[in-house]
Amino acid sequence: MANPSLLILAGDGIGPEVMAEVKKIIAWMGARRGVTFEVTEDLVGGSAYDKHGVPLHDDTMAKAQEVDAVLLGAVGGPKYDTLDFSVKPERGLLRLRKEMDLFSNLRPAQCFDALADFSSLKKEVVSGLDIMIVRELTSGVYFGEPRGIFTEGNERVGINTQRYTESEIARVARSAFELARKRANKVCSMEKANVMESGILWREVVQEVHDKEYPDVALSHMYADNGAMQLVRWPKQFDVIVTDNLFGDILSDCAAMLTGSLGMLPSASLGAPMANGRPKALYEPVHGSAPDIAGQGKANPIACILSFAMALRYSFDLGEDAARVERAVEQVLADGHRTADLMGPDGGTPISTSQMGDAIIAALDAIL
């Protein structure tokens, strides 16, 4: 049986630095667990533009379609701000999501006990937080037509179109319900059915899928603006939240900061099953390329490492190994290891990106 295949796209800024720590975990898996991956590396974002003049080469896109999973670091940086919109680094990521048809974006927000004091909310509000936001990723206002900037009369008009089909809503709803069955068995669907026709359709289709296919899962509906307020009032009322592309973008970033640092949060973008029954998948940390600290060893690699843990769970059926990685991260934090983004007001000396990776490897050895 062939080894599982993984395409690594480290990208820009701190992407290569945090990805280097993931490679340590991959090597550890081979040495200590006997699990070997066929790893290919390529370029995406600004690094791809620098070499090819496009943020994602066609050959790289073809590789992404063939492997079991793609692991991405980060894209972008100020040196690319003046590029035409069509070749900005972020377009490479959007192309991957669109052409791989990665319609279901899983954004966990988990607050480790050791970091509860880093949240802007009270410790009792966030301690033990473990929620999952399922964001529809390939349709909605970011992709709808017509779109663009046009001239009407004597002024310019910017247009973006919020558009959803029944099938697009239904498939991401199923993704959320399936996930809920493996967690606390409840889903909250968020939209703006009070003012948007697309929201009305969203609510109707989610309810229909629930009633026909998942009546065992508790389902509630909430307007997205109220959902944002509830996330900062009492986030532990939620388990799985399913929502559209725009609201999911906003709500998942809101939930991210409940945990104390964007440097802690992974994500998975899943598509339809391949021939092997596993979904097409791309895994990436939530944080950006952080060009202000790139190359300085200050980046937190935990989000990228936890993204690889999600790949172990969802693409490679290695749930026990995923849990080992997650426990190792939790242990390292409990032992007081901190990168610069996790340093509290009391100061102290942060450890480097590579030192954090080494500490997690040591914790994995101890767990094993």
Residues marked as catalytic: 142, 192, 225, 249, 253
DSSP secondary structure letters along 307-368: HHHHHHHHTS--HHHHHHHHHHHHHHHHTT---GGG--TT---PPPHHHHHHHHHHHHHHH-
CB atoms within 10 A of CB 368: 11
Answer yes or no: are the C-beta atoms of 314 and 268 closer than 8 Å.
yes
**Token couple for 334:** 């409990």
C-alpha 146/C-alpha 129 separation (Å) is 40
Helix or strand run (H / E) with residue 151: strand 144-152
CB atoms within 10 A of CB 345: 5
The region that residue 80 occupies, defined by phi over 0 for left and psi between -120 and 50 for alpha, beta otherwise, is: alpha
C-alpha 290/C-alpha 299 separation (Å) is 8
CA neighbor of 365 nearest in space, from 335, 325, 330: 325
Whole-angstrom CA distances from 68 to 35, 72, 273, 316 are: 14, 14, 11, 8
CA neighbor of 351 nearest in space, from 287, 289, 297, 293: 297
Amino acid code (one letter) for 154: N
Label residues 150-183 b or e (16+ Cβ within 10 Å = b). Answer: eeeeeeeeeeeebebeeebbbbbbbbbbebbeee
Helix or strand run (H / E) with residue 77: none
Task: Tell me which DSSP letter residue 4 carries.
Answer: P
Whole-angstrom CA distances from 357 to 135, 234, 264, 300 are: 29, 33, 13, 9
